[in-house]
């Protein structure tokens, strides 16, 4: 079940966090994987036994080259995971600048757009495309306007692509995790959310990269052949009623 044997998968942002967890999971499931990353991860790819391609997903020509090189080297593409992205604690809207927004947009939104544009050209019919969105694409967070709006855009691009590629039976879905326990989450500027995790997240902890990789594995497999155009929440119960959950836990702490 959920076998990826004889499948070829491309994972952007594959050198760390969710991307790396997904690369490892796909390899374990039998796939041939291309680890794509802006950093030089050749040594890591050699260790894992997969192919490495250096790519800046904000550059369309590099994304196009990634898929062309994969097809030329491995013969086909069955799975594409558009995962590369950044999160930058920004300013409140009254202090926001377009340059700041465009930097985040070019990577988070542009990288997915270019993946959706160029991957299908080299994919077999019946393949799967998975985009990494975020809970922040569905719920606003003050000071994160650029990040929230890019992830909201990824969700909508996913739906559009699912409709446009349906006649080729290429499924397109996205995963919307809450804060993931990765080095990015522990970066300067994110301290408050980490402090409040016991109160804000009903399950009382951050999401793990391996848990996102497990969803990606399911979406990539042929067992998931009728699911497309969907944005899957992986939020530990956040949207089920965070406000009441936080109030309840805070009240318990005072009693």
Q: What phi, psi does 115 have (nearest 5°)?
A: -65, -45
173 band by pLDDT with thresholds 50, 70 and 90: very high
Active-site residue identified among 105, 114, 147, 238: 147
How far apart CA 196 and CA 205 sit, in angstroms, is 10
User: How do the residues of the chain divide into helix, strand and coil, expressed in percent and rounded to 5?
Assistant: 50, 15, 35
Does the pLDDT at position 56 exceed 80?
yes
Per-residue confidence (pLDDT) for residue 190, from 0 to 100: 56
Q: In this structure, are residues 197 and 179 in contact, taking their beta carbons and an 8 Å threshold?
A: yes
Is residue 92 a contact partner of residue 142, using CB atoms and an 8 Å limit?
yes
Q: What is the rounded radius of gyration, in angstroms, for the C-alpha atoms of the chain?
A: 18
The domain ranges of the chain are 8-189+206-241
Q: Rounded CA gap, 194 and 176, in Å?
A: 18
Helices marked H in the chain: 17-28, 42-48, 60-74, 98-104, 110-122, 145-164, 191-195, 197-200, 209-220, 242-254
- Taking the alpha carbons of 238, 244, 245, 249 in that order, is the dihedral positive or negative? positive
For residue 226, pLDDT beyond 90: yes
Round to whole Å and give the CA distance between 130 and 28.
18
Mark whether 105 is an active-site residue: no
**pTM for the whole structure:** 0.90
What is the structure's pLDDT at 241?
Answer: 76
Residue 250 pLDDT level (bands cut at 50, 70, 90)? very low
Average pLDDT over residues 49-65: 99
The CATH topology of domain 8-189+206-241 is Rossmann fold (3.40.50)
């Amino acid at each position: 079940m959920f076998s990826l044997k004889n499948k070829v998968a491309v994972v952007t942002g594959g050198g760390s966090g969710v991307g790396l967890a997904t690369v490892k999971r796909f390899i374990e499931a039998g796939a041939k994987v291309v680890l794509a990353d802006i950093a030089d991860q050749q040594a890591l790819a050699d260790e894992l036994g997969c192919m490495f391609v250096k790519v800046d997903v904000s550059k369309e020509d590099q994304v196009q080259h990634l898929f062309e090189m994969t097809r030329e080297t491995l013969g086909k593409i069955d799975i594409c995971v558009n995962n590369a992205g950044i999160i930058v604690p920004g300013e409140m809207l009254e202090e926001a600048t377009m340059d700041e927004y465009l930097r985040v947009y070019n990577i988070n939104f542009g990288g997915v757009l270019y993946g959706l544009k160029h991957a299908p050209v080299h994919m077999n019919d019946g393949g799967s495309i998975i985009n990494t969105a975020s809970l922040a694409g569905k719920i606003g967070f003050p000071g994160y306007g650029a990040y929230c709006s890019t992830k909201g855009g990824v969700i909508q691009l996913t739906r559009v692509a699912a409709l446009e590629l349906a006649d080729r039976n290429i499924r397109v879905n996205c995963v919307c995790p809450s804060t993931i326990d990765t080095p990015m989450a522990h970066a300067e500027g994110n301290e408050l959310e980490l402090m409040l995790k016991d109160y804000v997240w009903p399950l009382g902890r951050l999401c793990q990269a391996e848990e996102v990789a497990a969803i990606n594995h399911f979406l990539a497999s042929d067992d998931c052949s009728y699911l497309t155009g969907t944005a899957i929440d992986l939020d530990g119960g956040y949207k089920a009623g965070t406000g009441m959950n936080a109030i309840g836990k805070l009240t318990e702490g005072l009693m």
